[in-house]
Chains A and B, each alone.
Chain A
């Protein structure tokens, strides 16, 4: 009797482990940092893409109700896909769209903008990728929606699409 109970318990334990591991197999094994982190954007110093003048982030994020910070690069293919979405966002008057050009050649970045249009109010550069790390980003493209207090309302990892455009518009409402 005792052996039977022990045997059943062992079987139950193994079934439990099997189910847990099987469920775990279906989970994505790619870790994505906490996308919705209600943090305030860290201050940083950067250079303007066109003028080359060094600017403090506190002077960039002023005078608007909402800010959209988009990390992009001319060498990044998904950035081309999301560019049309950014062009649509440009027309929204309640936001200031800021582009952070990530590890890019300035000439290539300018060519990219000339070819696809400029949706940004300002383009700043991150030549060695350290600003992106300070912001908690991990690659391109990545987009942050911030309020006037520079609090991160939403973070989109990967290219923006129609669904994310709707989400941004919902936040702005």
Chain B
């Protein structure tokens, strides 16, 4: 009887851990597919799109997660196949540096202008 209880407990714990692992994978799959652009319905994420491409892409993401790849490895794989544009998060490189640097530059220029006006007003 004790052995049966131990076996049942072990079985329940094992099942729960498998369920939570599957849930984690679904969450991660949804997160990744929200960050991937659908190349057929451009402007929509793979998560939102119902195109053939997006449906297959969701399956590939699921397969890769089951193979044990992590989120970044999946992004890298897709970038390698389809280029940087497939992800919604642009990397910092020579093609995108203006995109990253310009807002910071404008922020500092704006700040400097405001600061200068304030100093002039005080004087």
Residues of A within 8 A of B (CB): 29-31, 33-34, 39, 103, 128-130, 132-136, 138-139
B85: interface (CB < 8 Å): yes
16 contacts between A and B (CB under 8 A): A33-B83, A33-B86, A103-B52, A128-B59, A129-B53, A130-B60, A130-B63, A132-B56, A133-B56, A133-B57, A133-B60, A134-B81, A135-B81, A136-B82, A138-B82, A139-B53
Residues of B within 8 A of A (CB): 37, 39-40, 42, 52-53, 55-57, 59-60, 63, 80-83, 85-86
How far does the alpha carbon of A113 sit from the alpha carbon of B27 in the complex, in Å? 42
How far does the alpha carbon of A133 sit from the alpha carbon of B56 in the complex, in Å? 7
**What are the 5 closest A-B residue pairs judged by CB atoms, nearest first?**
A129-B56, A136-B81, A133-B60, A138-B39, A33-B82
Nearest to A133 among chain B residues (CB) is B60
Nearest to B85 among chain A residues (CB) is A31
11 further A-B pairs in the complex, CB-CB below 8 A; given A33-B85, A129-B59, A136-B82: A31-B42, A33-B83, A34-B83, A103-B52, A128-B55, A129-B55, A129-B56, A133-B60, A133-B81, A134-B60, A138-B40
How far does the alpha carbon of A84 sit from the alpha carbon of B42 in the complex, in Å? 31
Nearest to A30 among chain B residues (CB) is B42
> Dominant SS at the B interface?
helix
How far does the alpha carbon of A138 sit from the alpha carbon of B40 in the complex, in Å? 8
Residues of A within 8 A of B60 (CB): 130, 133-134
Considering residues B37, B52, B53, B85, which has the most beta carbons from chain A within 10 angstroms of its beta carbon?
B52
Task: State whether A33 touches B52 (Cβ < 8 A).
Answer: no
Nearest to B63 among chain A residues (CB) is A130
Nearest to A129 among chain B residues (CB) is B56
Residues of A within 8 A of B39 (CB): 31, 33, 138
Task: State whether A139 touches B81 (Cβ < 8 A).
Answer: no
Task: State whether B56 touches A128 (Cβ < 8 A).
Answer: yes
Considering residues B53, B80, B81, B85, which has the most beta carbons from chain A within 10 angstroms of its beta carbon?
B81
Residues of A within 8 A of B80 (CB): 39
How far does the alpha carbon of A135 sit from the alpha carbon of B57 in the complex, in Å? 12
Considering residues B39, B57, B63, B86, which has the most beta carbons from chain A within 10 angstroms of its beta carbon?
B39
Residues of A within 8 A of B83 (CB): 33-34
Nearest to A128 among chain B residues (CB) is B59
How far does the alpha carbon of A144 sit from the alpha carbon of B52 in the complex, in Å? 20
Task: State whether A139 touches B56 (Cβ < 8 A).
Answer: no
Task: State whether B53 touches A138 (Cβ < 8 A).
Answer: yes
Task: State whether B52 touches A139 (Cβ < 8 A).
Answer: yes
Partner of B40, one of A29, A134, A139: A139
Residues of B within 8 A of A134 (CB): 60, 81
Residues of A within 8 A of B52 (CB): 103, 129, 139
B41 to chain A, nearest CB (A): 11
